[in-house]
Amino acid sequence: MTNYYMLALPAFGYIIFFALHTVALHLNRQRTINEHRCKPPPGLPQLDPFLGLDLVFQVLSSFRARKRNESFKEQFDKFGPTFQSQIYGRTKLFTIDLKNLQSIFATDFASWGVQPLRLFFFGPFVGKGIMTTDGAFWEHSRTLMKPTFSRFQIANLSAYSIHVDRLIKLIPKNGSEVDLQPLFARLALDSSTELLFGQSTDCLAPTTTIDAKNFLEAYNYGQAGVGKRMQFPQWNFLTRDKRFWRSCAVAREFVEKHVEKALKSRAVPTDSKDTKLVLAREIAKQIDDRDDIRNQLLNVFLPAHDATAVALTNVFFHLARNPEVYVKLRREILTLDEIEWTFEGLKGLKYLQNVMNETFRLNPSIGQMNRVALRDTVLPTGGGTTGTSPVFVKKGSVVTTSFYALHRLPHLFGSDAQMFRPERWQSLRLVPWSYLPFGGGPRVCIGQQLALTEVGYTIAKIVQRFPRIENADPVMEFVEQWKITTDSKNGAKVRLFEV
């Protein structure tokens, strides 16, 4: 009997400790709620208020209907800029309130993170890096990347132009129908692999290597696998996709070969004539860990490829349906002389910038973004019957914001916010935190200027070459294809004419 009590004492002590900790945590949380006068936000009506399986069904239905972004917008229109739901026994918050966005992305940045979510979603594919981590490791990644990216948009435009010239050669000149989406995907892959690894996959060239083809196949399948993991992480234990794990391994092996080249290049004297920036070489100058270099490169490769390809597809999706915009844009672009095809010259094309801004507004590459509370915190507004009281957020709670819904608010972008009208940007006075196609705060996309430069350059070159565009897609509305990004399911089917 004595031995029994001796064995039971540690367990009993743990129970007492857990109970006291729970009570203390509850009291501290209640104190915070009282101090800030927090109130809960409105809740979505739910048939299942515990597991929220009815909401899971609604999400599945919106995916099948290819209207996930529009579904978010409808919920914000109906329930206000901040609301909550119960799913899998936990509270999930949704907000597009500007004060809350500023708090999450900037002023209360330390309370919010991505690692508990993204490292699971992306980890097998890209490992730890700038996109998947928080805290000291994220700061380490950002420090590695930022100096190089600040020079990329200017130094690498001449290299990028080679890939754009190849793309234009593949576009029919006689007005035959062409889907620009796969061409833009190949352009983005060619340019991003050259930028990151120093060697392009040459997908737009007449021939490409078997090694590159295997990487591209693995990359595309791995990306789709990550998208599935993101949608319903709670159900991933039911799936055993061996091809996904093989694809992750193939992608990593491809990058590891370039890491080895980058490390070996440190022992070779630099050619003063070689001014091309290569991210792998720049990182290898700073660290020795091969796995770290590989993961850092993969963390950048994913958004670098997707941002350019998706943006270009969406721009030409809208231009094909608004030929008067195309004519006006071409008139401006024809004022460029060869010497002005620079980063600064492209930024000076105001209507081109308006077209790009309007596309990013209506169809941001990333339609929504999640943050998880790394500690108990408070959102400045959204609670109570008036929606103006602070909202208490428990550690571990997830907050979702919809850039798609945010960018279509009439009081921010006009009563015609659903329409594609680049002219609105001529007089629009942006309210802070109302336009976030690249995120905001310390985690704002470090490749933003590079992406804008590449997208602007490609648009300008195509529009300069082809005087006229026609839509070749019988479906006029934008149909969503959810992966990691929100793509156009129907691509950008157009007819372009040289005369």
HSE-up of residue 444 (Cα within 13 Å, Cβ side): 15
Residues pairing with 482 in the sheet: 486
Encode pLDDT of 180-209 as tens digits.
999 999 999 999 999 888 889 898 988 877
Bridging pattern class, strands 493-497 and 90-95: unpaired
Residue with the bigger pLDDT between 449 and 477: it is 477
Confidence of residue 58 (pLDDT cuts 50, 70, 90): confident
Q: How far apart are alpha carbons 378 and 376 in whole angstroms?
A: 7
Confidence of residue 274 (pLDDT cuts 50, 70, 90): low
- The token pair that represents 86 in the structure block: 């119960």
Axis crossing angle, helix 242-265 with helix 180-197, rounded to the nearest 10: 40
- The token pair that represents 100 in the structure block: 């809350």
Bridging pattern class, strands 398-402 and 90-95: parallel
Q: What's the confidence (pLDDT) of residue 407?
A: 98
Whether 240 has a pLDDT exceeding 60, the answer reads: yes
In terms of average pLDDT, the best of 10-14, 20-24, 482-486 is: 482-486
Q: Find the helix or strand (DSSP H, E) in which 469 lies.
A: strand 468-471
Q: How far apart are alpha carbons 419 and 476 in whole angstroms?
A: 13
Q: How far apart are alpha carbons 100 and 104 in whole angstroms?
A: 6
Confidence of residue 5 (pLDDT cuts 50, 70, 90): low
Question: Which region among 218-222, 423-427, 452-456, 460-464 has the lowest average model confidence (pLDDT)?
Answer: 218-222
Q: Find the helix or strand (DSSP H, E) in which 411 lies.
A: helix 410-413
Residues pairing with 480 in the sheet: 488
Question: Which region among 331-340, 385-394, 453-462 has the lowest average model confidence (pLDDT)?
Answer: 331-340
Confidence of residue 237 (pLDDT cuts 50, 70, 90): low
Which residue is associated with the tokens 């929606």?
387
* Percent helix, percent strand, percent coil in the chain, to nearest 5: 60, 10, 30
Question: Rounded mean pLDDT of the chain?
Answer: 88
Q: Work out the average pLDDT over 492-498.
A: 97
Whether 118 has a pLDDT exceeding 70, the answer reads: yes
Q: What's the confidence (pLDDT) of residue 4?
A: 61
Confidence of residue 11 (pLDDT cuts 50, 70, 90): low
Q: Which residues of 205-233 are buried (b: 16+ CB within 10 A; e: fewer)?
A: eeebeeebeebbebbebbbebbebbbeee
Question: Which region among 165-179, 236-250, 312-326 has the lowest average model confidence (pLDDT)?
Answer: 236-250
Q: What's the confidence (pLDDT) of residue 302?
A: 79
Q: What's the confidence (pLDDT) of residue 241?
A: 81
Other Cβ atoms within 10 Å of 111 Cβ, number: 19
Whether 234 has a pLDDT exceeding 70, the answer reads: no
Confidence of residue 60 (pLDDT cuts 50, 70, 90): confident
Q: Find the helix or strand (DSSP H, E) in which 113 lies.
A: strand 112-113
Q: How far apart are alpha carbons 293 and 281 in whole angstroms?
A: 10
Q: How far apart are alpha carbons 36 and 388 in whole angstroms?
A: 12
Q: How far apart are alpha carbons 303 and 289 in whole angstroms?
A: 23
Residue 308 · residue 459 · CB < 8 Å:
no
Q: What's the confidence (pLDDT) of residue 23?
A: 78
Residue with the bigger pLDDT between 350 and 345: it is 350
Residue with the bigger pLDDT between 247 and 150: it is 247
Q: Work out the average pLDDT over 294-304.
A: 88
Q: What's the confidence (pLDDT) of residue 167?
A: 97
Whether 66 has a pLDDT exceeding 90, the answer reads: no
Confidence of residue 271 (pLDDT cuts 50, 70, 90): low
Whether 131 has a pLDDT exceeding 60, the answer reads: yes
Residue with the bigger pLDDT between 256 and 145: it is 256
Q: How far apart are alpha carbons 367 and 282 in whole angstroms?
A: 32
Residue with the bigger pLDDT between 432 and 222: it is 432
Residue 232 · residue 483 · CB < 8 Å:
no
Bridging pattern class, strands 368-373 and 82-87: unpaired
Confidence of residue 475 (pLDDT cuts 50, 70, 90): very high
Encode pLDDT of 98-114 as tens digits.
999 999 999 999 999 99
Bridging pattern class, strands 480-482 and 174-179: unpaired
State the SS3 of 317-358: HHHHHCHHHHHHHHHHHCCCCHHHCCHHHHHCCHHHHHHHHH
Encode pLDDT of 433-473 as tens digits.
999 999 999 999 988 888 999 999 999 999 999 999 999 99
Q: Work out the average pLDDT over 312-333.
A: 97
Confidence of residue 154 (pLDDT cuts 50, 70, 90): low
